[in-house]
């Protein structure tokens, strides 16, 4: 009997190895439909899977959304179907998952700076791979900052980028203007082994952006460095076309709007401030709704293809209109997420206070998904406590990316559209980010940049006009 059982185990392992060698995902994909809650399943008193949250029933979601977002549903500005996002369908590389398990008791955070420390040495670790804090105790007074670090490391693992994206300025009735950006990011931390880059200057990341359109912004470029050293502030330089010169910019200005928009540099993918530049308090673990990309949720994101020299290239063949301004006869606000669903998730809610009194915002409240580690709501208040801006980010699933001849299956987030919204609550307007000008606009990840020639002052001046 034991021999037969062992033979069966070996057969299953062999078949799994053959499937992977043949270019098959190493996890069930797309996700098993039976995992999703069926239409009609209650998610809150009076709300069910399949319902559309709108003016008629928005009050029933009062305990599941930030007040300013709930108001959009109450006023008819937003309307979205409620869908199921079950636990257990978020996958990553096998090496990443194994490292995450090994990290369970490996790290802590410095109570003064918030920096991650290796428990064995009491020092900042040379390198972290995997989610650093996979099991956060709700009673841990430093639970919030640990959730923030998980959010960063999860995002960084998608690798270095080169993409073209548009910023769209919107008002309640439509679009005001848009700008096309050419953007490069080099991430050094939490990279899969095949994508690690020598890092003699101990960077966390480097970034470069250049405005291509419209004409009045063309040639406006910025260069950004962030170091791992917790005491070293970010460095930012901007090429100013009117002066035809490169100028250093204070790190305090990372909270200001990019190109006159309502999107700040510290918004980024959700929150991109340096954690050590803030003090942190844990509000708690709670349930709530988040905006979610519906195709990704079903495992139907755009396919990623490997391009030698350019990394993984993402295409979005469906490319649905993602915001109200692009919808004919839309009655809601211009920035509303139109091709999206609401899903009920568990969140770590964390409060951040800038150490720099010149920072635009005095308090931030972050809602971070406790399983995917993707942020949902970033609520920004002034120093008196009044809400000024809410950065709203949609959730998504990782999808398999299979490189010819490579044994390990890679997993990268994938969608059919992007919607990130920086809403100026006081001025009743919003800037949308991450949108693509066409389904095949440049969007490459895990790119091997020539970092010595790309992220320097000469490149910044060359891009400037």
What is the band of 438 on the pLDDT scale with cuts at 50, 70, 90? confident
pLDDT at 11 over 60: no
pLDDT at 380 over 60: yes
User: Closest Cα partner for 389 from 422, 366, 351?
Assistant: 422
User: Closest Cα partner for 345 from 56, 52, 122, 90?
Assistant: 90
Residue 308 pLDDT: 87
Residue 249 forms beta bridges with which residues? 236
Task: Specify whether the CB–CB gap between 168 and 325 falls below 8 A.
Answer: yes
In tens, the pLDDT along 121-145 reads 999 999 999 999 999 999 999 999 9
Residue 372 pLDDT: 98
Residues 68 and 64: their CA atoms lie apart, in Å, by 12
Task: Specify whether the CB–CB gap between 190 and 130 falls below 8 A.
Answer: yes
Residues 280 and 140: their CA atoms lie apart, in Å, by 13
Residue 23 pLDDT: 64
Residue 282 forms beta bridges with which residues? 350
Residue 365 forms beta bridges with which residues? 351, 379
In tens, the pLDDT along 238-267 reads 998 877 889 999 988 999 999 999 999 999
pLDDT at 12 over 50: no
Residue 465 pLDDT: 60
Residues 352 and 157: their CA atoms lie apart, in Å, by 24
Residue 369 pLDDT: 98
In tens, the pLDDT along 103-127 reads 999 999 999 999 999 999 999 999 9
How does strand 221-227 pair with strand 443-445?
unpaired
In tens, the pLDDT along 20-40 reads 444 689 899 999 999 999 999
pLDDT at 42 over 70: yes
Percent of the chain with pLDDT over 90: 87
322's torsion region: left (phi>0), alpha (psi -120 to 50) or beta?
alpha
Mention every residue, 6+ apart, whose C-beta is less than 8 A from residue 125. 107, 116, 117, 118
The pLDDT of 7-29, averaged and rounded, is 54
In tens, the pLDDT along 284-329 reads 999 999 999 999 999 999 999 999 888 999 999 998 999 999 999 9
Residue at token pair 């007074």: 141
Q: Token digits for 322?
A: 């993602």
pLDDT at 379 over 60: yes
Mean pLDDT (the chain) is 93
Residue 305 pLDDT: 94
Q: Residue 30: is the preceding peptide bond cis (ω within 30°)?
A: yes
Alpha carbon of 344 to those of 27, 251, 326: distances in Å?
Answer: 24, 36, 27
User: Closest Cα partner for 131 from 115, 147, 113?
Assistant: 147
Residue 13 pLDDT: 39
Neighbours of 72 (CB within 10 A): 20
The pLDDT of 143-162, averaged and rounded, is 98
The pLDDT of 182-200, averaged and rounded, is 97
Residue 241 pLDDT: 84
């Amino acid at each position: 009997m034991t021999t037969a059982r062992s033979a069966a185990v070996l057969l299953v392992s062999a078949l799994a190895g053959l499937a992977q060698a043949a270019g098959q995902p190493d996890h069930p994909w797309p996700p098993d439909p039976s995992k999703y809650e069926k239409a009609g399943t209650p998610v809150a008193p009076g709300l069910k899977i399949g319902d559309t949250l709108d003016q008629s029933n928005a009050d029933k979601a009062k305990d599941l959304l930030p007040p300013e977002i709930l108001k959009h549903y109450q006023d008819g500005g937003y309307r979205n179907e409620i869908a199921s996002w079950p636990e257990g369908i978020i996958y990553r590389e096998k090496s990443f998952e194994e490292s995450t398990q090994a990290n369970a008791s490996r790290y802590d955070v410095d109570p003064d700076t918030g920096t991650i420390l290796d428990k064995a040495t009491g020092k900042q670790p040379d390198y972290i791979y995997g989610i650093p804090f996979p099991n956060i105790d709700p009673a841990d007074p430093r639970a919030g900052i640990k959730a923030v670090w998980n959010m960063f490391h999860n995002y960084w693992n998608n690798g270095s980028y080169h993409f073209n994206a548009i910023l769209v300025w919107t008002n309640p009735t439509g679009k005001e203007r848009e700008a096309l950006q050419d953007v490069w990011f080099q991430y050094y931390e939490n990279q899969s082994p095949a994508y690690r880059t020598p890092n003699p200057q101990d960077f966390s990341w480097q970034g470069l952006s250049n405005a291509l359109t419209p004409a009045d912004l063309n040639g406006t470029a910025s260069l950004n460095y962030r170091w791992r050293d917790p005491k070293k502030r970010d460095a930012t330089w901007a090429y100013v076309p009117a002066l035809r010169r490169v100028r250093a910019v204070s790190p305090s200005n990372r909270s200001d709007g990019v190109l006159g928009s309502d999107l700040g540099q510290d918004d980024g993918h959700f929150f991109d401030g340096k954690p050590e530049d803030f003090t942190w308090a844990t509000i708690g673990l709670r349930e709530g709704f988040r905006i979610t990309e519906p195709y990704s949720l079903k495992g139907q994101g755009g396919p990623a293809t490997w391009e030698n020299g350019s990394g993984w290239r993402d295409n979005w063949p469906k490319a649905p209109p993602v915001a109200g301004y692009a919808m004919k006869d839309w009655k809601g606000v211009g920035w509303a997420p139109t091709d999206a669903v609401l899903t009920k998730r568990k969140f770590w809610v964390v409060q951040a206070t800038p150490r720099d009194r010149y920072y635009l915002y005095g308090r931030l409240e972050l809602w971070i998904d406790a399983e995917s580690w993707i942020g949902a709501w970033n609520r920004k208040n002034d120093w008196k406590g009044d809400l000024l801006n809410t950065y709203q980010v949609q959730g998504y699933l990782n999808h398999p990316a299979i490189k010819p001849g490579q044994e390990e299956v890679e997993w990268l987030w994938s969608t059919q559209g992007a919607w990130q919204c920086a809403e100026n609550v006081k001025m009743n307007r919003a800037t949308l980010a991450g949108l693509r000008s066409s389904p095949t606009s440049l969007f490459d990840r895990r790119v091997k940049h020539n970092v010595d020639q790309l992220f320097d002052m000469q490149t910044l001046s060359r891009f400037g006009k």
